[in-house]
Amino acid sequence: MPKQVDHRARREAIARALWRVAEQRGVPHLTMREVAQEAGMSLGQLQHYFASREAMLSFAMDFAAEQTTLRVGRGLAALGDAPHPRDVLRVMLTETLPLHPDARATSRMSAAYVLEALHDDALRARARDGILHGRDLVEQLIRRAVADGLVPADRDPVAETHLLLALTGFTTLLELGAVGPEEVLAAIDQHLDRLFTGPA
Amino acid sequence: MPKQVDHRARREAIARALWRVAEQRGVPHLTMREVAQEAGMSLGQLQHYFASREAMLSFAMDFAAEQTTLRVGRGLAALGDAPHPRDVLRVMLTETLPLHPDARATSRMSAAYVLEALHDDALRARARDGILHGRDLVEQLIRRAVADGLVPADRDPVAETHLLLALTGFTTLLELGAVGPEEVLAAIDQHLDRLFTGPA
């Protein structure tokens, strides 16, 4: 295996170990020492791949975003050619929420990352950029749906985009067991049905 | 001052110190030692009021919920007699989101509490009960609005309730600066306008 590929593979394995620590033990355990242990390496070996805890967290966060993008991509591929924008948004939302183990691991890590980001300008800018990128995708999709007559023309695409992003708030309700996956899907479908009230 | 009142006042002062630590320094700093320092007392004095970090966090969380309820109560009182349920929901949502400093302090503490609760069954049950209590209030309000013809009868009150709770997801977007307060209020208004499409 070329050295560059191996380096990347090791970093991904460390990121997955970090996700497991976040999911199973909780945020206070997200130290380089505990992640190294979970990844089955020494602290020194871990430091060869990440110079700091921040660098490790940022990579784990970027990798989580990539994996979510891959899951969304697979979900979209399953919709076939020219999927309805309602279905596209449904896949984007449901793959972001902790409705299955992969998404739960990355969702817990994201929550931890956001809390850290509030007190770290570099992490905060990175987290914000990630959200703004997602927002732009959703907004483009809604604007096109309005142009295609699938969403009523009197809807404000910006406000609709923000409402869809805010539905990631289901994360906390799911994590605490205040709502179940079926209830979340029913609510998301109700919201999307109301958004797409034009001809299908 | 009677001893009982003084005890309560000291516990509230400690809770406010904890909120400040959560807001200004971040979650990893929510230790009994740092909170005692922020509250201007010794660790021993703090332990007189709270036997454990969990007890301290739970009290701070309950106190935050009480303060939010008070803010909502003041907002509702300002609406006068027999307020429209749309306005009631708007006050409940906006006083829960970090749109002003008081709400931001408690919102950051809540986020920290939720992360802890994922790995602590007692905290998790407490957090879930709080959410379920809020959910019941919102659901009653929506059912009455449907009965009064203010919300179309074909809306599912349970799904609508969950959608409103999920809008607390604006918290993260606000905290990271991905959306501004004006944009959040515009989106909430758009959501409520669409829910209340019956005669006003």
Q: How far lies B88's CA from each of B75, B91, B103, B137, B142, in Å? A: 8, 5, 18, 11, 11
Asked if B109 and B61 touch (Cβ cutoff 8 Å), the reply is: yes
User: Is residue B155, in this structure, part of any structural domain at all?
Assistant: yes
**Which residue, among B99, B62, B67, B198, has the nearest Cα to B90 in the 3D structure?**
B99
Q: State the smallest CA–CA distance between residue A4 and chain B in angstroms.
A: 34
User: Is residue A39, in this structure, part of any structural domain at all?
Assistant: no
- B79-105 in b/e form (b: 16+ CB < 10 A) is eeeeeebbbbbbbbbbbbbbbeeebbb
Q: How far lies B116's CA from each of A23, A83, A141, in Å? A: 11, 40, 36
List of chain B residues whose C-beta atoms are within 8 Å of the C-beta of residue A137: none
DSSP structural state of residue B106: H
User: Is residue A122, in this structure, part of any structural domain at all?
Assistant: yes
φ/ψ of B7, rounded to 5, equals -60, -45
pLDDT score at A89? 96
Asked if the C-beta of A28 comes within 8 angstroms of chain B's C-beta atoms, the answer is: yes
pLDDT band at A199 (very low <50, low <70, confident <90, very high): very low
User: Is residue B62, in this structure, part of any structural domain at all?
Assistant: yes
pLDDT score at A77? 93
Q: Evaluate if residue A32 carries a pLDDT over 80.
A: yes
* Alpha-carbon dihedral B14, B16, B63, A111, rounded to 10 degrees: -110
List of chain B residues whose C-beta atoms are within 8 Å of the C-beta of residue A119: 25-26
Instruction: Give the mean model confidence (pLDDT) for residues A163-174.
Output: 94
Through-space distance between the first and last CA atoms of chain B, rounded to whole angstroms: 50
User: Which of A137, A161, A172, A190 should be substituted to probe chain B, the one whose Cβ sees the most B Cβ atoms within 10 Å?
Assistant: A172
User: Is residue A160, in this structure, part of any structural domain at all?
Assistant: yes
Q: How many independent structural domains does chain B possess?
A: 1
User: Is residue A61, in this structure, part of any structural domain at all?
Assistant: yes
pLDDT score at A27? 74
Asked if the C-beta of A170 comes within 8 angstroms of chain B's C-beta atoms, the answer is: yes
- Which residue in A has a C-alpha nearest to residue B167's C-alpha? A166
Q: State the smallest CA–CA distance between residue B178 and chain A in angstroms.
A: 6
User: Is residue A77, in this structure, part of any structural domain at all?
Assistant: yes
- Which residue in A has a C-alpha nearest to residue B191's C-alpha? A163
Asked if the C-beta of B122 comes within 8 angstroms of chain A's C-beta atoms, the answer is: no
Question: Collapsing DSSP states into helix, strand and coil, what is residue B118?
Answer: coil
Instruction: Give the mean model confidence (pLDDT) for residues A40-52.
Output: 96
pLDDT score at B106? 81
Q: State the smallest CA–CA distance between residue A117 and chain B in angstroms.
A: 8
Least confident piece of the model among A18-22, A50-54, B110-114, B182-186: B110-114
A159, A167, A178 member nearest B186 (Cβ): A159
Contact A26 B118 (CB under 8 A): yes
Q: Pick B6 or A3 by higher pLDDT.
A: B6
ipTM greater than cut 0.90: no
Spans of chain B, pLDDT less than 50: 198-200
Give the best-scoring range by mean pLDDT among A28-32, A77-81, A104-108, A123-127.
Answer: A77-81
Question: How many angstroms separate the CA atoms of B116 and A157, rounded?
Answer: 36
Q: Evaluate if residue A28 carries a pLDDT over 50.
A: yes
Contact A166 B169 (CB under 8 A): yes
Contact B158 A186 (CB under 8 A): yes
List of chain A residues whose C-beta atoms are within 8 Å of the C-beta of residue B190: 155-156, 159-160, 163
User: Is residue A8, in this structure, part of any structural domain at all?
Assistant: no
- Which residue in B has a C-alpha nearest to residue A25's C-alpha? B119
Paired tokens of A155 = 């809807």
Could you list the residue range(s) of the whole structural domain that residue A89 is in?
Answer: 57-195
Say which CATH number the domain at B175 has: 1.10.357.10
Asked if the C-beta of A95 comes within 8 angstroms of chain B's C-beta atoms, the answer is: no
B112-148 confidence digits (pLDDT tens): 888 888 888 888 898 899 899 999 999 999 999 999 9
Q: What is the DSSP string of chain A?
A: --HHHHHHHHHHHHHHHHHHHHHHT-GGG-SHHHHHHHTTS-HHHHHHH-SSHHHHHHHHHHHHHHHHHHHHHHHHHTT-SS--HHHHHHHHHHHHSSSSHHHHHHHHHHHHHHHHHTT-HHHHHHHHHHHHHHHHHHHHHHHHHHHTTSS-TTS-HHHHHHHHHHGGGHHHHHHTTSS-HHHHHHHHHHHHHHH--S--
